[in-house]
Amino acid sequence: MSHGKTEKSGSRKSTRMVDASTGTEPRMFTASSRSSGRLDGSSCVAPVPDTRAIFVHAGAGYHSQLNEPVHLKACADACKAAMALLRNGGSATDAVEMAIKVLEDNEITNAGFGSNLNVHGDPEMDAVICEGSGMSGAVAAVRDVKNPISLARAVLESSRVAMPLRRVPPIFLVGDGASEFADEVKMPRVPINDMISEGSRSRWEKWKMEIEQDAAYTARAQKNARIAGDGHKDEQQSKEEKEERADLIVDTVGAVAIDQYGNIAAGSSSGGISMKHAGRVGPAALVGVGTWARIDNNGKAVACTTSGTGEQIAHTLIASRAVDRIFFADDEIEAMHDAIEHDFMDAPVVLNAMNAAAIGILGIKKEVVNGQTKLMFIYGHTTDSMAISSMVGWQNSPVTIMSRNERPPRVAMEGKRHTCPNRRTY
């Protein structure tokens, strides 16, 4: 485990990460202090690989054809905002926070404004942000903060600062404690009703009516829990069934980013499942469960964020398992496939679950191969669809895709490798 130590140098603060097991410092890449002179009097550092990258998703589930452009635009907007920060020297953590803020502010997603409501008709939102160094911050069951991901970021930053009496700074705050912390860091709180959209309220009213009508509720539960002997759904749902749930399936959003120094970060945010029990904490707030990132002393880095059936994700620790498989793999797509098929779908807790299994995973791997820095974008999902967008530093616009799975719950997946061109910084 890594522990942060804050040191002052003049008027600036720097964060030094020390690996407790080795006593050494992981390499946090920064601009070189060696520069070469130019005839015009300016200076530049030696060419470095352009590792700036952002990869986002708006949930794995079912996205109707009608709403597809709206979901993809939300993802593209998130990528563009994050890349603007990266191009202006922002960190990977900055980019993840910005991308998820854009998604939280979009009513089409189940995060921030418009999140699913709990059984009492209140929003309770979860979010986490973590860095490859191991540092993280998370909040859960937040009701009155506009952007839960920013509150999670504030928790992360506060954990770098020593507390009086040698107390340990928190990295995970829930409910009223999270709201009190928002006051401490001067983050505005908003009326709870301001976080509820017409869509989220209408979804809640529909489900509330069905729960009260016990027969209808039981029939829906049985339909959603059809599991074959191997733990997978026994048949594909018809087009009519998919359209029926088109406006009901909304899920966790997430982002992974790499900055110009090669540092990696990941995050996720979610309103959780509709009609959830008050106080329920989902994987969008759990480090290593729904989101994870790691980097070694040579700058090799991997981060993943997930979406799907939250309790099953929590039982299988799938984010950390996927990161570990991809980190050591020569074939990243095969590693992603194995994480989904073996670590998730074939896990006993999933095979024996009452509810249908659903998972989507998105990740980036950065490593040096034969002297060249490579970026690998990978995603996979067992759901009907997953909304995705990616962008690298040398692209003019994001690449968006609505990945559609022809035979769920089989795994739909894809990967794309980029060779990072060199860039000069001045």
Decide: 156 and 136 in contact? Cβ < 8 Å. yes
Q: In angstroms, rounded to a whole number, what is the distance separating the alpha carbons of residues 90 and 223?
A: 47
Output DSSP code: residue 22: T
Amino acid making up residue 391: M
Residues 6+ apart with CB under 8 A from 9: none
Helix (H) / strand (E) element for 308: namely strand 301-308
Paired sense of beta strands 253-258 and 264-270, if any: antiparallel
Decide: 320 and 303 in contact? Cβ < 8 Å. no
Amino acid making up residue 413: M
Amino acid making up residue 395: Q
The residue among 358, 131, 96 whose CA lies nearest residue 232 is 358
Q: In angstroms, rounded to a whole number, what is the distance separating the alpha carbons of residues 177 and 172?
A: 10
Helix (H) / strand (E) element for 149: namely helix 148-158
Residues tagged active-site: 252
